[in-house]
Amino acid sequence: MARRVNLYQLIRQIHMYAAFITITFLVMYFVTGYLMNNPQWFDQEKPAPEIKTISMKKPDVSNEELYKQLKNKLEISGRFHNSWTNKGTTYYEYQSMLRQTIVYFDSTHTTATVKVSDRNTMGSITAYHRLHKYGGPPAYSLYILLMDLASLALLIFVLTGVYMWLSFVKYRWLGVGFLVAGFAYSIWVWLTFVLY
């Protein structure tokens, strides 16, 4: 019995500390999730992008190295996000919380066009939710690491929460009902997409 009580206390402590370490990220998910789910209630207007053309020879280097060179020359903020090719032109996208920058070179690789789009307030706030993948300045990697920890903490909440409910509540049928209802609905939705 003593071992069972101790295990319950241990699980309770894990549940609590996992929550405390990632509590800011849970609040961030609430705020950004609310904004993303209800965009019609907030300002949708985006500032017009600023486009400039500069004379610059494209160096034949990796995306990360190109970012370092462009960052110094063009004062780009944030980090490299993506690159893609369309009709022979390669586009390089850089993102920070406040703006998105797209750089592309002409066919002779001697002129760079830089398009800087400032995010509106809603775009900047939801960028905290949409940030993903490691890379770039250390602060970004630290943030992604904390996001990963928050995701792991959510898994821990679920598992420890279910364990504590099983240990703590004597009359379990109501809880079983809620748990089964949630799973049944989710599986129903999943199967609909697979079989419809």
Partner 1 sequence: MKVKNYLLQFHIYLGLFCTPYLLIFALSSLSFNHVSLKEEFTPVKSERIAITLNEDSFDSPRALGEALRDSLHLMGWFIPWESHIDSASFLVNVRNLGRDFRMTGTWGIPEIEFTTNSTRFISMLKGLHGLHEEVPGAPWWINAWGLYQDLTVYSLLFWVLSGIYLWWVSKSRSKSSAFWLIGSFTMSVLLMIYLWLAG
**Sites of contact with partner 1 (CB under 8 A):** 16-17, 19-30, 33-34, 36-37, 77-79, 96-98, 124, 128, 132-134, 137, 139-140, 142-144, 146-148, 150-152, 154-155, 157-158, 161-162, 164-165, 168-169, 174-175, 178-179, 181-183, 185-186, 188-190, 192-194, 196
The residue among 111 and 120 lying less far from partner 1, judged by its C-beta, is 120
Q: Which amino acid is at 192?
A: T
Alpha carbon distance 76, 68 (integer Å): 9
Q: Please check whether residue 93 is in contact with residue 38, taking contact to mean a CB–CB distance below 8 angstroms.
A: no
Residue 18: how many CB atoms within 10 A of its CB?
A: 19
Among residues 58 and 127, whose Cβ is nearest to partner 1?
127
> What's the closest the beta carbon of residue 29 comes to partner 1, in angstroms?
6
122 touches 43 (CB < 8 A)? yes
> Least distance in Å: CB of 93 to partner 1?
14
Looking at this protein, which amino acid is placed at residue 24? T
Give me the least distance between CB of 15 and partner 1, in Å please: 9
Give the Cα separation of 190 and 196 in Å (integer): 10
CB atoms within 10 A of CB 152: 12
Nearest distance from residue 61's CB to partner 1, in Å? 23
